[in-house]
């Protein structure tokens, strides 16, 4: 039977059933449970938002193939693009909160945007799952009960690790280059606190820059001339590429080792600074790598990335931490929904604190969240990586 004949026959059968009062509504698919994603999809050089979407989508496919949730309801995504603009994020999350089918919202890379929507989700009673943004205040928001949960780094851990890495490479005085944003202020506070506590590395100077600056050379030279022996960089891909390209043009003696926060890995940093990275000593914080991962969760996700998105090599995965964090967050959320026995947002929030024993992609979570702790990771998840010649991020302890 041709498709046309099949469809015509199906229409006739449905009309006949309707004429005899058959309960057609009983055959309707269960209403999907929606997970919102508000992230920087429209940002010109970002890869982080798409990575978060892919990780969430792969987890949703797995859950739906296993029968969905709450007796057969499928999960689905509801996407919003904030373009990294906080006001857009507020509007987007407000719209997601107004949709009763949205049970939670995943957020993107930019801490300033996520910080602005914390009051929105608190007022709406909508669980927020932070998959990348690292500002301490996202979790330390003073709300009780807090509807904000994170599976990511926090700036305190990142800056402590960066200071320790500077010490490992022989630096005793470091410079700090930060954006004039909430992320920059959070990073500075963490660096000052940990430098004082550690006692073996001193902040020689701090320089600020603005997003969109066309040159970071004056800010860089300021901290170098203050005596810095290494540079701690807090930047996204655009400003990070500006700096590294400018450093590559300097005499070798003026190029400090750069130890970077992970914002650069959320975009097309490598393609924007490829040549410069061959002469600048550049390491960056990470929490997950697919390269060399052989556990069952990694193999499932790698197979899905190949089948669904055509990515057939772990070395070619953009923003791997975004995929990994979002994948684990969706599975944790699904367990919370089942534990709550409901999509009631407050009950799901409470259940997130009760989920136990999930063997995920990033790690085995015995207690991912508790009433006292809404951070699923801890400083032990942190490692440092370098860009290889093909742009792959390699753990520095696994380089060959």
Say whether both 128 and 160 belong to one domain. Answer: no
What are phi and psi for residue 72, nearest 5 degrees?
Answer: 125, 5
Share of the chain above pLDDT 90, in %: 90
Say whether both 343 and 280 belong to one domain. Answer: no
Say whether 40 sits in a helix, a strand or coil: coil
pLDDT of residue 14: 38
pLDDT of residue 397: 75
| Inside any domain, residue 399 | no
How far apart CA 237 and CA 233 sit, in angstroms, is 11
What average pLDDT is seen over the chain? 93
| Inside any domain, residue 123 | yes
Say whether 85 sits in a helix, a strand or coil: coil
Q: Provide the pLDDT confidence category of residue 12 given band limits of 50, 70 and 90.
A: very low
pLDDT of residue 27: 54
Contact 259, 233 (CB under 8 A): yes
| Inside any domain, residue 133 | yes
Instruction: For residue 47, give both structure tokens.
Output: 């890869």
Look up the domain containing 67 and give its range: 33-153+294-378
Whether the pLDDT of residue 279 is over 70: the answer is: yes
Whether the pLDDT of residue 9 is over 60: the answer is: no
- Predicted TM-score of the model (pTM): 0.91
| Inside any domain, residue 262 | yes
Contact 187, 155 (CB under 8 A): yes
Say whether both 164 and 271 belong to one domain. Answer: yes
Query: What mean pLDDT comes out for the span 336-362?
Result: 98
| Inside any domain, residue 360 | yes
pLDDT of residue 29: 82
Contact 322, 48 (CB under 8 A): yes
Say whether 177 sits in a helix, a strand or coil: strand
pLDDT of residue 21: 43
How far apart CA 237 and CA 171 sit, in angstroms, is 25
pLDDT of residue 13: 39
pLDDT of residue 286: 98
pLDDT of residue 191: 96
CA 201 to chain CA mean position, Å: 29
Say whether both 49 and 76 belong to one domain. Answer: yes
Say whether both 66 and 135 belong to one domain. Answer: yes
Q: Which of 234, 258, 286 is the last residue of a domain?
A: 286
- Say which CATH number the domain at 217 has: 3.40.50.2300
Query: What mean pLDDT comes out for the span 326-333?
Result: 98
Say whether both 232 and 161 belong to one domain. Answer: yes
Residue-wise pLDDT for 222-272, tens only, equals 999 999 999 999 999 999 999 999 999 999 999 999 999 999 999 999 999
Say whether both 245 and 332 belong to one domain. Answer: no
| Inside any domain, residue 315 | yes
| Inside any domain, residue 389 | no
Residue-wise pLDDT for 92-147, tens only, equals 999 999 999 999 999 999 999 999 999 999 999 999 999 999 999 999 999 999 99
| Inside any domain, residue 390 | no
Query: What mean pLDDT comes out for the span 314-327?
Result: 98
Total domains, the chain: 2
pLDDT of residue 398: 53
Say whether both 319 and 306 belong to one domain. Answer: yes
Contact 328, 313 (CB under 8 A): no
Residue-wise pLDDT for 45-100, tens only, equals 999 999 999 999 999 999 999 999 999 999 999 999 999 999 999 999 999 999 99
Query: What mean pLDDT comes out for the span 278-298?
Result: 97
Residue-wise pLDDT for 21-32, tens only, equals 444 444 578 999
Contact 126, 104 (CB under 8 A): yes
How far apart CA 229 and CA 221 sit, in angstroms, is 12
pLDDT of residue 74: 98
Tell whether omega for the bond before 235 is within 30 degrees of 0, i.e. cis.
Answer: no
Say whether both 168 and 282 belong to one domain. Answer: yes
Q: Which of 286, 304, 323 is the last residue of a domain?
A: 286
pLDDT of residue 182: 86
Say whether both 314 and 353 belong to one domain. Answer: yes
């Amino acid at each position: 039977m041709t498709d046309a004949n099949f469809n015509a026959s199906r229409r006739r059968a449905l009309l006949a059933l309707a004429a005899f009062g058959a309960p057609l509504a009983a055959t309707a698919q269960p209403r999907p449970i929606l997970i919102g994603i508000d992230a920087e999809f429209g940002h010109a050089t970002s890869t982080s938002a798409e990575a978060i979407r892919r990780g969430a989508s792969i987890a949703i496919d797995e859950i739906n193939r296993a029968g969905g949730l709450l007796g057969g309801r499928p999960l689905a995504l509801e996407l919003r693009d904030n373009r990294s603009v906080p006001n857009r994020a507020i509007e987007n999350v407000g719209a997601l909160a107004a949709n009763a089918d949205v049970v939670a919202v995943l957020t993107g890379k930019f801490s300033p945007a996520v910080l602005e929507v914390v009051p929105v989700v608190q007022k709406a009673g909508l669980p927020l799952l932070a998959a990348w943004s690292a500002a301490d205040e996202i979790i330390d928001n003073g709300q009780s009960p807090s509807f904000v949960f994170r599976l990511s780094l926090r700036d305190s851990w990142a800056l402590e690790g960066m200071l320790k890495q500077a010490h490992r490479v022989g630096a005793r005085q470091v410079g700090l280059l930060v954006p004039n944003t909430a992320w920059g202020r959070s990073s500075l506070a963490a660096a000052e606190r940990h430098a004082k506590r550690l006692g073996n590395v001193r902040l020689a100077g701090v320089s600020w820059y603005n997003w969109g600056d066309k040159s970071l050379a004056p800010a860089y030279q300021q901290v170098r001339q203050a005596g810095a022996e290494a540079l701690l960089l807090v930047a996204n891909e655009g400003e990070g590429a500006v700096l590294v390209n400018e450093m590559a043009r300097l005499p070798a003696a003026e190029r400090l080792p750069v130890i970077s926060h992970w914002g650069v890995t959320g975009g097309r940093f490598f393609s924007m600074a490829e040549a410069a990275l061959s002469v600048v000593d550049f390491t960056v914080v990470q929490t997950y790598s697919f390269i060399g991962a052989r556990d069952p969760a990694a193999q499932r996700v790698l197979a899905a990335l190949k089948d669904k998105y055509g990515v057939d090599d772990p070395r070619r995965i953009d923003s791997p931490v975004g995929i990994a964090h979002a994948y684990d967050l969706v599975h944790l959320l699904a367990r919370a929904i089942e534990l709550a026995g409901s999509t009631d947002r407050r009950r799901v929030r409470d259940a997130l604190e009760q989920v136990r024993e999930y063997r995920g992609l990033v790690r085995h979570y015995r207690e991912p969240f508790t009433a006292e702790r809404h951070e699923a990771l801890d400083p032990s998840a942190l490692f440092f990586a370098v860009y290889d010649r093909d742009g792959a991020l390699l753990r520095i302890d696994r380089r060959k």
